[in-house]
Structure 1
Amino acid sequence: MNKTDRLLAILLELQQRKVMRAEDLASLFETSVRTIYRDIQALSEAGVPVIGAPGQGYSLMEGYFLPPIMFTAEEAVALLIGTDFVEQRFDAEYGERARASRKKIESILPDRVRADAARVRKTMRLLAPGSKAASGEEKDYVELVRRAILEERKLEFHYVKNMPDSKGNRKSFRSAAPYGLVFLQGSWTLVAWCDLRQGIRHFRLSRMKDLTILEERFELPPDFHLENYRPRDDRNLLVRILARHGIADRVKEAGNYYIETLEECEEGLLVSFRVRRPEEILHWVLGWGSDVVVLEPQSFRDRIRDEAEKMFKRY
């Protein structure tokens, strides 16, 4: 590694690791400690604010960032599409930060890379769901939940849940300690400790009403890490349907969260679902009309027939 490459590498290490000793840098880059001393001096003379603390190591002055001047067009596109996503799906504050970040990234790109990135972005489009909740109320709730998570304060809200076995929806009042936000199946979901259920539960922001941040504080359990969290899978019921050949491609493209397997056969497309209750896919199956047939379980076949008879009577 030549000196120029090593200087850049040292700078990147200091940005990522915050504090590093000269001995550790020398071991990392397979050089002498004396050479690291000279490299640090060269960075300082070049205007990089390197701080040396006896017995601790070197660090960069807080707030200093190396301008990303070496982006390829593909890397720039990835970052710019990321700002598009944040602007569409996050709250107003982060949307404004995304727009500002986009301008900064574009301003430091070389002309050729900026032109290539613009050309590639014109061929791609990030589509957000067109629902009112996703563009309005849900975004507002993202901001509230995000603030509550950072401040470790509990939330209070009414939660509306569709109950297929009962008449209409069921509305319940909840207080919860917010642990994290997950973007799943086109909508935001809150992972939280529910005081009512005394356990971790998942709440779609689109189903929340009257969301309020409370003064009451909570402590995140030391053994909880959102990146490692996996909810218990209690989907134990197998449902199988047969879709005719004419709609097989559309069924694949439409997708469904509960689909487990897709298998081509002579009669069409065999689709297997793993659900808690058949009602979770009732309307999805009915939406395909006579082009699909429920194979099992028998109870779900009966339910589909009952719904079809009710529809027939309406006409």
Structure 2
Amino acid sequence: MNDNYLKKLDRVTAILTQLQSKPIVRAQDLAEKFDVSVRTIYRDVKTLENAGIPIVGEAGSGYSLMEGYKLPPVMFTKEEVLSFITAEKLMQKFLHQSLGNHYQTAMEKVRSVLKHSDKNLIQNIEKQIDVYNYHPKPEDNIRNIIPIILESIAEKKQLIMEYKTVDSKISTRTIEAVGVFFEFNYWYIMAFCTLRNDFRQFRVDRILQIFKTQNPFLQEYGQINDYRKSSNGNKTKVRLLVEKKIINHLANSKKYYGLIEEIDRGNEVELIFETEWINDGFPRWLITFADYATILEPEILKTKLSDIVNRISNKHQ
């Protein structure tokens, strides 16, 4: 059995898995995934059809399995089983609690189709993997909150929620959710707020009540990252000169605070930001490494930073 035959066998099996997991699969997408020509994919699909797999569709429009057709459970490789164990450990630490029970049930179904030897592998290795998370999970006021949000996105229905802001003000909002994302140990909704007539992000643990309406979205939306890059207000340009020895410690947070450019300045790096949080968020972040940084502009940032330092000093004298 030569290598080309084995590669084709692996590829055809993987295509069958794709057909089982998606409503429709395009030949072009499969060709890119497996780094082969579209014509090769056509031949692979023909191989599946000759093996008795009822595939609906044709070249150019996409393929799917005939509705109602059932295949035996998928068999997993040892490497895939090990990846499941690692992913499960991550999910236990970072998965939102409203999804936890659903994920656990799904994993039980995955375990149920494993070979006996793979079940033994899990039992032997799962206690040897751990993920340390030093931040406690925030508690939610509502059961199944993320599934409610995701259902509204899938069905394109508006949500009405009661929301508490960072300064404890409570308001009722009608929103059209674009997506959810996890950042700095919190889950957020990115949504179009009909009250503000603009896009906003809301922390999930600050939602006091939420329910899905039957009102359809007023407009179509793109991907969530299209809106996370957009501004909700006026941005201020900030230039910092930071010692190189701490740059690696800012790897994740500097992008969050609006980094747009880095310039090498010998022993230092000039960081250029566009930030909406010049009044509070940015100076409070800057204070964590201010002894290694010089503010080049704006002057208002120097004032904000000095005010915070003075308040801290006066409070602890």
TM-score between the two structures when normalised by the length of structure 2: 0.67
2:250 aligned to 245, 249, 252, which one?
Answer: 252
Equivalent position SS for 1:229: helix
8 Å contact from structure 1 (residues 238, 273) kept in 2: yes
- Give CA deviations for 1:26-72 in whole Å, capped at 9, x if unaligned: 98454997x877521xx6xxxxxx5999xxx9844537344332424
Once the two structures are TM-superposed, the CA of residue 216 in structure 1 deviates from its matched residue by 4.1
Amino acid paired to 1:300: L
Find out whether 1:302 has 2:303 as its counterpart. yes
What is the match of residue 130 of structure 1? 136
Once the two structures are TM-superposed, the CA of residue 251 in structure 1 deviates from its matched residue by 3.6
Q: How does 1:71-86 map to 2 (within 5 A)?
A: 71-73=77-79, 75-86=80-91
More off after superposition, 168-177 vs 227-236: 227-236
Using the alignment, how far apart are the partners of 2:125 and 2:45 within structure 1? 46
Equivalent position SS for 1:192: strand
Once the two structures are TM-superposed, the CA of residue 141 in structure 1 deviates from its matched residue by 2.8
What is the match of residue 224 of structure 1? 221
Once the two structures are TM-superposed, the CA of residue 196 in structure 1 deviates from its matched residue by 0.6
8 Å contact from structure 1 (residues 191, 201) kept in 2: yes
- Give CA deviations for 1:7-42 in whole Å, capped at 9, x if unaligned: 74674465357689xxxxx98454997x877521xx
Amino acid paired to 2:217: E
8 Å contact from structure 1 (residues 155, 213) kept in 2: yes
Find out whether 1:159 has 2:157 as its counterpart. no
8 Å contact from structure 1 (residues 14, 60) kept in 2: no
Equivalent position SS for 2:136: coil
Once the two structures are TM-superposed, the CA of residue 156 in structure 1 deviates from its matched residue by 2.4
Q: How does 1:26-37 map to 2 (within 5 A)?
A: 28=41, 30=43
Equivalent position SS for 1:77: helix
Find out whether 1:90 has 2:102 as its counterpart. no
Unaligned runs of 5+ in 2: 26-38, 58-62
Compute the RMSD of aligned alpha carbons.
4.5
Percent identity, please: 15
Once the two structures are TM-superposed, the CA of residue 105 in structure 1 deviates from its matched residue by 3.1
8 Å contact from structure 1 (residues 239, 272) kept in 2: yes
Once the two structures are TM-superposed, the CA of residue 282 in structure 1 deviates from its matched residue by 1.9
What is the match of residue 30 of structure 2? none
1:39 aligned to 51, 67, 71, which one?
Answer: 51
CA shift in 2, pair 1:126/1:154, >3 Å: farther
Q: How does 1:38-117 map to 2 (within 5 A)?
A: 39-40=51-52, 50=54, 59-60=65-66, 62=68, 64-73=70-79, 75-87=80-92, 88-92=94-98, 94-107=99-112, 108-109=114-115, 111=117, 115=121
Once the two structures are TM-superposed, the CA of residue 213 in structure 1 deviates from its matched residue by 0.7
Find out whether 1:188 has 2:183 as its counterpart. no
Using the alignment, how far apart are the partners of 2:266 and 2:55 within structure 1? 71
TM-score between the two structures when normalised by the length of structure 1: 0.67
Equivalent position SS for 1:132: coil
Number of equivalenced pairs: 287
Using the alignment, how far apart are the partners of 1:32 and 1:212 within structure 2? 46
Once the two structures are TM-superposed, the CA of residue 188 in structure 1 deviates from its matched residue by 1.9
User: In terms of Rg, which structure is larger?
Assistant: 1
CA shift in 2, pair 1:12/1:214, >3 Å: closer
8 Å contact from structure 2 (residues 12, 45) kept in 1: no
- Give CA deviations for 1:172-220 in whole Å, capped at 9, x if unaligned: 4311122322233432221222111223322221333x22215442137
Once the two structures are TM-superposed, the CA of residue 132 in structure 1 deviates from its matched residue by 2.8
8 Å contact from structure 1 (residues 83, 101) kept in 2: no
Once the two structures are TM-superposed, the CA of residue 259 in structure 1 deviates from its matched residue by 5.4
Equivalent position SS for 2:51: helix
What is the match of residue 210 of structure 2? 212
Using the alignment, how far apart are the partners of 1:70 and 1:250 within structure 2? 38
Amino acid paired to 2:205: S
CA shift in 2, pair 1:81/1:218, >3 Å: farther
